[in-house]
């Protein structure tokens, strides 16, 4: 457990489409709702109705102003654990509580052996791990490990809660190690990318960029002007039109 | 990074303890500190006391202190685990040495025990430094100088305590004062180099890289109305102006003032019992401030998602 698996059978992860996300935070709340009763239960809050409310969430949505030749405007940006292939959050753990699963690549924290030293959160450049101040242990995205293999719920629900909740379909779940999976195909077609690729943790989760906004203003033909004859009748109608529109 | 007082107390207190243990052990090896001597016994007692105080304090940083023993298991990959193993392993020779000193048992065995204690002290402080130096997410910590800064600070603070002990025991303090002065000078020089390096390096990562998008102007809306754990722990920031004032006080209290007193004692050998308590107190204040700044000045990459443009 102390070291990373040399190879994982699958690389389960999320693909997040920044072109579609509307920043509604439905993924955030449904994540919190599921996980406060699931593997990471409970996800505690501190001062929820006080002056300084905060708490452990496994998924966060930022909104940024972005201005480049491709896209100019707001980008809503969901951020959670990327289930990296070579992350230090696993290797720095002194107890082996933080580990990466060999079978599917999911990075988990064992809540029964975590001592709450917070070192794993220091090693994560993505700020994906959040300490639970009441429980004294580290919490992080589990990729809903207690949903995706859960045979007691209908098959169509066996996806992470955030994916199930997204009203616009901006989140997709699948095996990113399989080049033929729907998520991998979409990443290839849309130039999906890694966050902080230069840092080298090899994230599994991918992001799809906003589509290029159209650079052409639509050409709308001017309405043709009616021919004018200058007759008395036409002048009468013109006078009546003016008088009635007064 | 948020400067947790438990970690600051731990690293400064146990650092001084390991420094003192190192110097006492070396002194014993060269024959300057006999086992039966009162000074050796008291010195080991203070060293082990400071180490224990630091280690206990470090467990207050944990969310689940009762599970701290689990931290000894992952020494293959984790510097924190290695630090725990090294710290516990050092107790064995140092503890036996202390017991032998208590009971007045001399013999050939004290020599290897003293050597092992010295090696254990260096190894533990090295592991402490490497916990920080191994974190690539924080550029002010991920530097080759960091473990040497920790070692030099431990050596300097330990040497100051050794001079204090010598002064109270009424021994000649000229040579130990000179050694402490050299250690303190080395630690101060390393810290100056460290500060120059972190000031010159603007940070290799940008908000654009963090988001994977070009032209990130600003964060319009954070994900939460009040700071979350990431902002509280990783987003701690000290104003440039305050940092410079604090750096000056570290140099004054931690290095200049005790350095001048040590220099005076190295030359004259006098006034030890008067000057050394002042020097040790000043150095303690300076080194605690130095450790506080080490955290407060560190910028974490996750702040790129919270409006920081470069880290």
Looking at residue B105, which CATH number applies to its domain?
Answer: 1.20.120
**ipTM, 2 decimals?**
0.93
- How far apart are the C-alpha atoms of A153 and A162, rounded to whole Å? 16
Question: Are residues B32 and B91 located together in one domain of the fold?
Answer: yes
- How far apart are the C-alpha atoms of B224 and B222, rounded to whole Å? 6
A122–B135 CB contact, under 8 Å: yes
Tens-digit pLDDT string for chain A (246 aa):
568 998 899 999 999 999 999 999 999 999 999 999 989 899 999 999 999 999 999 999 999 999 998 888 999 999 999 999 999 999 999 999 999 999 999 999 999 999 999 999 999 999 999 999 999 999 999 999 999 999 999 999 999 999 999 999 999 999 999 999 999 999 999 999 999 999 999 999 999 999 987 766 677 788 877 777 888 888 898 899 999 988
B302–A125 CB contact, under 8 Å: yes
Question: Strand A206-208 and strand A12-17: pairing?
Answer: parallel
In terms of CA atoms, which chain B residue is nearest residue A96?
A: B74
Chain B contact set for A117 (CB, 8 A): 61-63, 71, 80
Q: Does B146 map to a domain?
A: no
CATH number corresponding to A12-208: 3.30.70.20
B63–A136 CB contact, under 8 Å: yes
pLDDT at B181: 96
Phi, psi of A22 (to 5 degrees): -105, 5
CB pairs under 8 A between A and B: 202
Question: Are residues B124 and B181 located together in one domain of the fold?
Answer: no
Question: Are residues B111 and B241 located together in one domain of the fold?
Answer: no
pLDDT at B171: 87
CB contact, 8 Å: B264 with chain A?
no
- Which residues, including other chains, have CB under 8 Å from residue A3's CB and lie 6 or more apart? A90, A91, B76, B77
CB contact, 8 Å: B307 with chain A?
no
pLDDT at B167: 92
**Shortest CA gap A135–chain B (Å):** 7
Question: What six digits make up the tokens of A24?
Answer: 């509604």
In angstroms, how far is CA B42 from the centroid of its own chain? 22
**Shortest CA gap B118–chain A (Å):** 24
Question: Are residues B74 and B186 located together in one domain of the fold?
Answer: no
- How far apart are the C-alpha atoms of B191 and B153, rounded to whole Å? 9
Q: How is chain A split into domains, by residue range? A: 12-208
B216–A135 CB contact, under 8 Å: no
B300–A66 CB contact, under 8 Å: no
- How far apart are the C-alpha atoms of A74 and B115, rounded to whole Å? 63
Q: Does B211 map to a domain?
A: yes
Q: What is the DSSP string of B35-74?
A: TTSHHHHHHHHHHHHHHHHHHHHHHTTSS-GGGGGGGGS-
pLDDT at B15: 96
Structural domains of chain B, count: 2
pLDDT at A2: 64
| Radius of gyration of chain A measured on its C-alpha atoms | 26
Output the furthest CA–CA distance in chain B (Å, rounded).
72
Question: Are residues B100 and B185 located together in one domain of the fold?
Answer: no
Domain hosting residue B102, numbered range: 1-134
B280-307: pLDDT as tens digits = 999 999 999 999 999 999 999 999 999 9
From the list B62, B77, B211, the residue facing A195 with the nearest CB is: B211
- How far apart are the C-alpha atoms of A23 and A117, rounded to whole Å? 33
Question: Are residues B9 and B74 located together in one domain of the fold?
Answer: yes
pLDDT at A217: 67
A125–B213 CB contact, under 8 Å: no
pLDDT at A246: 80
B108-142: pLDDT as tens digits = 899 999 999 999 999 999 999 999 999 999 999 99
- How far apart are the C-alpha atoms of B311 and B304, rounded to whole Å? 7
Question: Are residues B204 and B266 located together in one domain of the fold?
Answer: yes
- How far apart are the C-alpha atoms of B185 and B192, rounded to whole Å? 11
Rounded to an integer, the average pLDDT of B193-201 is 95
Q: Does B162 map to a domain?
A: no
From the list A74, A130, A137, the residue facing B229 with the nearest CB is: A130
pLDDT at B79: 97
From the list B64, B68, B73, the residue facing A96 with the nearest CB is: B73
CB contact, 8 Å: A17 with chain B?
no
Q: What is the DSSP string of B190-216?
A: HHHHHHHHHHH---S-BHHHHHT-S-E
Test the A interface: residue of B65, B88, B300, B302 with most A CBs within 10 Å:
B302
Chain A contact set for B61 (CB, 8 A): 117-118
pLDDT at B88: 96
Give the DSSP H or E segment for B239. none
Question: Are residues B248 and B116 located together in one domain of the fold?
Answer: no
CB contact, 8 Å: B222 with chain A?
yes
Question: Are residues B187 and B246 located together in one domain of the fold?
Answer: yes
Chain A contact set for B139 (CB, 8 A): none
Question: What six digits make up the tokens of A158?
Answer: 């066996």
Neighbours of A37 (CB within 10 A): 12
Of the candidates B134, B155, B187, which is a domain's last residue? Answer: B134
Question: Are residues B180 and B72 located together in one domain of the fold?
Answer: no
CB contact, 8 Å: B30 with chain A?
no
- How far apart are the C-alpha atoms of A158 and B129, rounded to whole Å? 45
């Amino acid at each position: 457990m102390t070291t990373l698996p040399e190879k994982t059978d699958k690389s389960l992860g999320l693909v997040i489409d920044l072109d579609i996300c509307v920043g509604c935070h439905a993924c955030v709340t449904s994540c919190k709702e599921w996980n406060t009763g699931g593997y990471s239960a409970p996800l505690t809050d501190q001062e929820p109705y006080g002056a300084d409310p905060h708490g452990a969430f496994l998924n966060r949505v930022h909104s940024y102003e972005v201005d480049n030749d491709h896209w100019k405007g707001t980008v809503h940006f969901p951020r959670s654990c990327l289930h990296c292939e070579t992350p230090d959050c696993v290797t720095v753990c002194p107890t082996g509580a933080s580990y990466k699963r060999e079978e599917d690549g999911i990075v988990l924290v064992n809540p029964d052996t975590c001592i709450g030293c917070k070192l794993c959160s220091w090693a994560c450049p993505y700020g994906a791990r959040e300490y639970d101040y009441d429980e004294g242990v580290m919490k992080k995205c589990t990729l809903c490990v207690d949903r995706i293999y859960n045979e007691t719920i209908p098959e169509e629900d066996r996806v992470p809660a955030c994916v199930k909740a997204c009203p616009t379909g901006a989140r997709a779940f699948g095996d990113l190690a399989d080049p033929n999976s729907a998520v991998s195909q979409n990443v290839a077609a849309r130039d999906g990318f890694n966050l902080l690729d230069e840092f080298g943790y090899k994230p599994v989760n991918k992001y799809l960029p906003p589509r290029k906004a159209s650079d052409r203003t639509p050409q709308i033909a001017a309405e043709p002007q009616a021919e004018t004859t200058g007759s008395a009748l036409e002048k009468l109608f013109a006078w009546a039109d003016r008088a009635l529109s007064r | 990074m948020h400067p947790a007082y438990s970690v600051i107390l731990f690293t400064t207190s146990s650092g001084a303890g390991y420094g003192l243990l190192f110097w006492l052990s070396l002194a014993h090896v060269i024959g300057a500190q006999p086992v039966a001597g009162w000074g050796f016994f008291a010195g080991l007692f203070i060293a082990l006391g400071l180490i224990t105080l630091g280690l206990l304090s470090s467990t207050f940083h944990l969310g689940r202190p009762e599970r701290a023993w689990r931290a000894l298991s992952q020494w293959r990959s984790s510097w924190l685990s290695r630090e725990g193993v090294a710290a516990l392993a050092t107790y064995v020779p140092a503890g036996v040495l202390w017991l032998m000193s208590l009971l007045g048992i001399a013999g050939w065995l004290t020599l290897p025990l003293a050597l092992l204690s010295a090696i254990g002290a260096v190894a533990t402080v090295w592991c402490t430094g490497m916990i920080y130096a191994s974190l690539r997410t924080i550029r002010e910590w991920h530097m080759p100088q960091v473990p040497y800064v920790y070692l030099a600070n431990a050596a300097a603070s330990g040497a100051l305590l050794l001079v204090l002990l010598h002064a109270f025991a009424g021994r000649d303090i000229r040579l130990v004062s000179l050694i402490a002065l050299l250690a303190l000078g080395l630690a101060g020089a390393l810290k100056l180099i460290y500060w120059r390096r972190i000031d010159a390096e603007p940070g290799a990562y940008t908000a654009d890289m963090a988001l994977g998008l070009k032209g990130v102007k600003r964060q319009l809306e954070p994900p939460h109305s009040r700071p979350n754990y990431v902002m509280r722990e990783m987003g701690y920031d000290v104003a440039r102006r305050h940092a410079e004032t604090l750096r000056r006080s570290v140099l004054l209290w931690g290095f200049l003032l005790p350095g001048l007193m040590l220099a005076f004692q190295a030359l004259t050998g006098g006034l030890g019992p008067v000057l050394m308590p002042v020097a040790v107190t000043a150095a303690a204040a300076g080194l605690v401030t130095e450790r506080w700044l080490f955290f407060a000045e560190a910028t974490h990459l996750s702040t790129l998602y919270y409006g920081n443009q470069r880290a």
